[in-house]
């Protein structure tokens, strides 16, 4: 099995995801966030210090907070209601109570992305109870809200949006009664594919597999499922293109690269290209600067990136323009830069992706995140981790800077593979 060479993780190993407990310090979604957050923290401390273990007593404490702060901001108000709904789900096991809490949040903050925090709890409760049709009835009408939550750049909202989509995809595995079974199954499969492709393109942060499941919760699940669904739908060539996208945009770490390599193997096998994975693994040992001319040639270099679905073209174009503008204004934080790198890679724009990665490296020279994004771009462009490893060796003073050759190849018109436009 292919593995990146050891030097790749000398820098990467220092990184860790931000704890979800600190999500309230992320992007401000409006209102007096600070005082509301302090009030929420005070209740948490009281419950902990007084060792309150009775779920009903905990719920009462959170409900009292909502009564004393009737104008609590959406992000904190929905956080409190998520705490309540969670207790109602797993401790009291009262589906009706969970629904009432969700309805309360939706009424208090209509169409606000933060309500996905509570919506996801109800979807999980229904999913756990095997009520697939009710999950579908809950999440589908709120998909605009779910996607808006994913697009906010707020880590906890993005995670809960991903989990909501996961619950819906689980529900879509259940085929409704009536009519021809094969026809119903095929329609369901196409619906799942469309949902997952929309999520990957319209929430570019999800192109980084670790952002689909922050903290390790099913990292890469959207890619894994859409590739397998495309294969089942007899669209193996398209599955291979999504496997290429998966490898190109995944995080630069050992687990991500190994996981995406396995997906490539499944996709090549579905296309009856049984020796391609071996050739891919062998090509990882070829020198980076001669990878496109030496034998064995890397077969992934011949696989094009997938096209943007027509239904997502406008959203993708608008977001790419926004990210480019913010980059030029130096107005993107680390999360925004990672999103930009992923989207530009998905579009086959390696120069824009590298420029974004280098901006993070310049802004935070001591933060390994910048070096990691540069390696992510080199991995995508080369379909290999060799030059990425060389870049890390260069940072340690043990190799030449591979960026010179990278930019020379771009100027010469060698872009490895490009996106196919729009469907």
Per-residue tens of pLDDT for the chain, all 423 residues: 333 433 332 222 222 222 233 343 334 444 478 999 999 999 999 999 999 999 999 999 999 999 999 999 999 999 999 999 999 999 999 999 999 999 999 999 999 999 999 999 999 999 999 999 999 999 999 999 999 999 998 999 999 999 999 999 999 999 988 888 899 999 999 999 999 999 999 999 999 999 998 667 799 999 999 999 999 999 999 999 999 999 999 999 999 999 999 999 999 999 999 999 999 998 887 665 555 666 568 999 999 999 999 999 999 999 999 999 999 999 999 999 999 999 999 999 999 999 999 999 998 788 899 999 999 999 999 999 999 999 999 999 999 999 999 999 999 986 554 444 444
What is the DSSP track for 197-210? HHHHHHSGGGGSGG
Q: What share of the chain is helix, strand, coil (3-state, %, to 5)?
A: 70, 0, 30
pLDDT of residue 413: 84
Q: What tokens were used for 232?
A: 């089942």
pLDDT computed for residue 19 by the predictor: 29
Dihedral sign computed on CA atoms, order 254, 257, 261, 267: positive
Would you state the pLDDT for residue 25?
37
The number of CA neighbours under 13 Å toward the Cβ of 80 is 29
d(CA 310, CA 293): 35
pLDDT at position 273 is 97
**How far apart are the C-alpha atoms of 398 and 406, rounded to whole Å?**
18
Give the model's pLDDT for residue 29: 41
Per DSSP, what are the bridge partners of residue 288? none
Among 249, 242, 283, 282, residue whose Cα is nearest residue 264: 242
Distance CA 162, CA 224 (A): 14
Res 286: pLDDT: 64
User: Contact 211/205 with Cβ under 8 angstroms?
Assistant: yes
For 285, phi and psi rounded to 5 degrees? -90, -5
Do residues 237 and 293 touch, judged by C-beta distance below 8 A?
A: no
The confidence score (pLDDT) of residue 8 equals 32
The whole-number pLDDT of residue 288 equals: 54
Asked if residue 234 lies in contact with residue 240, where contact means CB atoms within 8 angstroms, the answer is no
Instruction: Give pLDDT, residue 1.
Output: 35
């Amino acid at each position: 099995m292919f593995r990146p060479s050891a030097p790749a993780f000398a820098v990467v190993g220092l990184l860790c995801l931000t704890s979800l407990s600190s999500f309230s310090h992320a992007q401000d979604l409006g209102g007096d966030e600070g005082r509301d957050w302090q009030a929420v923290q005070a209740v948490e401390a009281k419950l902990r210090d007084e060792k309150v273990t009775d779920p009903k007593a905990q719920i009462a404490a959170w409900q009292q907070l909502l009564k004393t702060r009737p104008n609590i901001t959406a992000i904190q108000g929905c956080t409190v209601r998520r705490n309540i709904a969670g207790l109602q789900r797993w401790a009291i096991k009262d589906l009706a109570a969970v629904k009432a809490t969700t309805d309360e949040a939706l009424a208090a903050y209509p169409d606000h992305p933060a309500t996905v925090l509570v919506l996801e709890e109800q979807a999980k409760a229904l999913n756990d109870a095997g009520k697939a049709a009710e999950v579908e009835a809950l999440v589908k009408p709120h998909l605009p809200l779910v996607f808006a939550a994913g697009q906010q750049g707020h880590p906890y909202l993005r995670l809960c949006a991903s989990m909501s989509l996961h619950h819906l995809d689980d529900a879509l595995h259940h085929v409704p009664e009536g009519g021809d079974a094969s026809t119903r199954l095929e329609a369901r499969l196409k619906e799942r594919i469309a949902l997952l492709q929309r999520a990957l393109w319209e929430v570019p942060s999800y192109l980084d597999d670790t952002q689909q499941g922050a903290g390790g919760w099913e990292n890469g699940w959207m890619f894994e499922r859409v590739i397998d669904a495309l294969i089942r739908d007899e669209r193996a060539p398209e599955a291979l293109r999504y496997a290429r996208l998966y490898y190109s945009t995944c995080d630069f770490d050992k687990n991500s690269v190994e996981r995406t390599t396995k997906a490539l193997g499944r996709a090549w096998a579905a296309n009856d290209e049984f020796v391609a994975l071996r050739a891919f693994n062998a090509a990882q040992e070829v020198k980076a600067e001669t990878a496109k001319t030496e034998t064995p040639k890397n077969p992934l270099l011949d696989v094009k990136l997938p096209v943007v679905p027509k239904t997502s073209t406008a959203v993708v174009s608008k977001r790419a323009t926004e990210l480019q503008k913010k980059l030029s204004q130096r107005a993107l934080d680390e999360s925004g830069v990672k999103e930009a790198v992923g989207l530009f890679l998905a579009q086959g724009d390696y120069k824009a992706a590298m420029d974004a990665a280098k901006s993070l490296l310049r802004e935070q020279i001591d933060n390994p995140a910048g070096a990691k994004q540069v390696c992510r771009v080199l991995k995508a462009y080369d379909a290999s981790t060799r030059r990425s490893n060389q870049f890390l060796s260069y940072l340690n003073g043990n190799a030449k800077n591979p960026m010179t050759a990278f930019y020379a190849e771009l100027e010469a018109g060698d872009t490895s593979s490009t996106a196919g436009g729009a469907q």
